[in-house]
Structure 1
């Protein structure tokens, strides 16, 4: 009888934990591609559009998709695909600024509340609870409608009503860190509060900050598009996804892409931001765990 070991043909090698971490799903690749396309359109704008986004052809009017106009034309004969590309900057820059402002203010207040505790924590938490109890989107519509301001007012109001969620999540993450020995050592050494927050606490809660920042971007994208759909925060005739959806829904029987195009761009960008944000959270958490 041979001593040579035999290999069971039914044996299936189980991938290691490290190999599973390195595997990137097709969904993540697709979502990353969508965000890359959106970023290129936001930076390049009309330069990469096949037609002048503002050029009108009243004789042509709303027409279905063709070889010359890939998504057809709108009610004024403007190329829908070119307007989608040109409108990317208006649709994305606002949510990006809202997310940055929310992360900067909310993360700072949340870390301060979680680290200092006491009256500082109580004051910040009461502020967050008060704002969180208000119907955010309804308040944004009322305030922007009453003030009659443009994009800057809408962005500022969205930042204000997005801060409480950021404070709560960041405070919770900071409280978990405050029980660890490295913060006791930092206090013993007499380090200042800003240095403890931004040099020691922030790197350890970075996965939470990045994930909530992506969610802030997605929420602001949907919210600002809703305002534009209602005719608030965006000047009439501007190439903006929400405004395009509102203006072209009446011609869907002539060219369905005139309204479906901006709607799909909003949905795809929001879903892609959520998926990529979730992946970044997992990846950063794994890196922190190995460190």
Structure 2
């Protein structure tokens, strides 16, 4: 039942204004950064010039040069190799958070927006309560008390980001609930669950996908902040936040030791935000075209 709305919008999207929706240069560069991060996360040690944990205590700290393009840390480990290896944690952790939060937020948001009533009130009051909390501070306290390391940090961040997604999905669902295709589905006698997940959800999904890029950037920074504080990952782990913390004292001997993971973190977070913002703009334009 949702197909006619999509088909009806297709001719407008295929016209000349579609050319203006082509990604601008900053977004194309951001997409390139995401592609490099994905390759590093998938291949990791296969493309690293050295072993991420291979030590050369006799060599110690060295500046960039020779076989170590970004130099080494105080244990003689290759900085470039550790940055490449750290991409896996930088991508996998936030990706799990985004997927978990999107699942929770989509289900709760659809129920709140379409069913309404006491369910809507309960879900939104819980979301408001979570929204009022300083999430990163609470996560630091909970991870420190509960323990569990990186896995606990990921699980707690899912529970904090999920309600934000629920608010977004609820708003889009409220817009969809009054459209003709939903009225037609009700007239045909389709169940409430079928309407929500077979007809409303496909029209909500693009907004969820765009928002997921922004959530990824937030999750990446949050996990890196926890790692920087020594929470979540083990000492010596090839994690960008942990590397930034461990190598700060090497700033004079090898500036790239702390700068390289910091730059990688900033580039990935900014790239996610740029792509997410651009997707939001495209969805907004499509909504106005309808």
Under a length normalisation based on structure 1, what TM-score does the superposition of the two structures give? 0.90
Q: Give the match for residue 207 of structure 1.
A: 206
* C-alpha distance in 1 between matches for 2:280 and 2:134: 28
Instruction: Report if the CA contact (8 A) 1:207-1:285 is conserved.
Output: no
Q: Give the match for residue 94 of structure 2.
A: 95
When Rg is computed on C-alpha atoms for both structures, the one with the higher figure is 1
After superposition, residues 13-28 of structure 1 pair within 5 angstroms as 17-22=17-22, 24-28=23-27
* C-alpha distance in 2 between matches for 1:18 and 1:248: 47
Instruction: Report if the CA contact (8 A) 1:114-1:174 is conserved.
Output: yes
Q: Give the match for residue 264 of structure 2.
A: 265
Give the superposition deviation at 1:288.
6.6
Instruction: Report if the CA contact (8 A) 2:211-2:280 is conserved.
Output: no
Q: Give the match for residue 10 of structure 2.
A: none
Instruction: Report if the CA contact (8 A) 1:95-1:217 is conserved.
Output: yes
After superposition, residues 158-237 of structure 1 pair within 5 angstroms as 158-237=157-236
* C-alpha distance in 1 between matches for 2:134 and 2:168: 19
SS in 2 for 1:78: coil
Q: What is the Cα-based RMSD across aligned positions, in Å? A: 1.8
Q: Give the match for residue 5 of structure 1.
A: none
* C-alpha distance in 2 between matches for 1:26 and 1:220: 25
Under a length normalisation based on structure 2, what TM-score does the superposition of the two structures give? 0.90
SS in 1 for 2:247: helix
Instruction: Report if the CA contact (8 A) 2:51-2:81 is conserved.
Output: yes
* C-alpha distance in 1 between matches for 2:86 and 2:68: 17
Q: Give the match for residue 277 of structure 1.
A: 276
Instruction: Report if the CA contact (8 A) 1:207-1:281 is conserved.
Output: no
Give the superposition deviation at 1:243.
0.4
Q: Give the match for residue 80 of structure 2.
A: 81
Ranges in structure 1 where 5+ consecutive residues have no aligned partner:
1-15
Aligned pair count reads 276
Give the superposition deviation at 1:199.
1.7
Q: Give the match for residue 252 of structure 2.
A: 253
Give the superposition deviation at 1:278.
2.2
**Per residue, is there more helix in 1 or in 2?**
2
Q: Give the match for residue 9 of structure 2.
A: none
Q: Give the match for residue 62 of structure 2.
A: 63
Instruction: Report if the CA contact (8 A) 2:79-2:257 is conserved.
Output: yes
Q: Give the match for residue 138 of structure 2.
A: 139
Q: Give the match for residue 10 of structure 1.
A: none
Q: Which string of whole-angstrom CA distances, capped at 9 and with x for unpartnered residues, describes residues 160-208 of structure 1? A: 1111211111111111111112112212222223321222112222332
